[in-house]
Amino acid sequence: MSGATGNLKDYEERILRDRGICGGQPVFKGTRVTLRTVLASLAGGDSTEDILSDFPSLKADDVRAAIPFAAASAEEDLPVPAVPHI
């Protein structure tokens, strides 16, 4: 299994954060479609085709980039557990 950072280049080319666009939420480049919107659709059971139909400005590679981006973000945000003192 490859780590979330294995697809770094894929999602860096497709997803950006800019304070001037959607308040800095991650969006797909060239759109105002947020990562959160696509992830919620995927979590709700929508297929890539459903999402592309709802958001024609997206490409299939955009939808595929959502999960590795979210995984890498979660890795960054997870607290590091303290080492118990024995």
DSSP assignment string, 27-80:
EETTS--BHHHHHHHHHTT--HHHHHHH-TT--HHHHHHHHHHHHHHHHHHSPP
CATH fold, domain 4-71, is: Arc Repressor Mutant, subunit A (1.10.10)
Domains of the chain by residue range: 4-71
For the chain, 86 residues long, give each residue's pLDDT as a single digit of tens. Answer: 444 444 456 788 899 999 999 999 999 999 999 999 999 999 999 999 999 999 999 999 999 999 999 888 887 766 666 666 66
Which tokens belong to 23?
């308040």
The structure tokens 């947020």 sit at 34
How many residues are listed for the chain in this entry? 86
